[in-house]
Amino acid sequence: MSDSEDETRDKLLKIVILGDGASGKTAMATRLVHDAFGKQYKQTVGLDFFLKRITLSGNLNVTLQVWDIGGQTLGGPMLDKYIYGSHGVLLVYDITNHQSFENLDDWYTAVQKVAADSERRPTVALVGNKIDMEHLRDVKADRPLRFCQENGLAHYCTSAKTGESVCIVWRVGLCCATDTF
């Protein structure tokens, strides 16, 4: 076997997307995997899965297994199990819906609870979605920044509709990959 074949590695990364209903989690996953956007809102019941395969330099094949968790699962019995074992977590809020930002406290608490009982702490990032509707912004820009500073999290803004910055999911995945290898 040649050196290059010898060095080829495959890795599965579990990325969990959390946040209130209608914040755009499914739309983000759909944009990432299918580069498409649907206007119609269809509530995710329980969870849904998406797969994205990427090859990194150094013969590193990474499969992102994206867990799109329905917003109604907050406070339910299955949420801990969905989060468990994740390498990366995206906490999504809708910049036009203040309550979706306020509720991130509860989503983050759920992540911390699972992380405290796990060997691995996932990389967590905050994502403000729907920035194509900046004119309807209902979350003051300094609030998420403060939340991220206080908790040591990265913050990103995306539009699943236009595709702007949705590759953040990749970045979190890659960051996890770097940590894990």
Ligand X SMILES: Nc1nc2c(ncn2[C@@H]2O[C@H](COP(=O)(O)OP(=O)(O)OP(=O)(O)O)[C@@H](O)[C@H]2O)c(=O)[nH]1
CB 14 within 8 A of CB 177: no
In the complex, minimum distance from the CB of residue 98 to ligand X, in angstroms, rounded to a whole number: 16
Distance of CA 45 to the CA centre of its chain: 18
Instruction: Give yes or no for residue 39 binding ligand X (CB under 6 A).
Output: yes
Position among 87, 130, 174, 176 found at the interface with ligand X (CB under 6 A): 130
Instruction: Give yes or no for residue 22 binding ligand X (CB under 6 A).
Output: yes
Position among 13, 18, 26, 93 found at the interface with ligand X (CB under 6 A): 26
Give the 3-state secondary structure of residue 135. Answer: helix
Place of tokens 């849904």: 48
Position among 44, 59, 65, 165 found at the interface with ligand X (CB under 6 A): 44
Using CA atoms, how far apart are residues 29 and 10, in angstroms rounded to an integer? 22
Q: What angle do CA 92, 23, 132 make, to 5 degrees?
A: 95
Give residues in contact with ligand X (CB under 6 A): 19, 21-27, 38-39, 41, 43-44, 70-71, 129-130, 132-133, 159-161
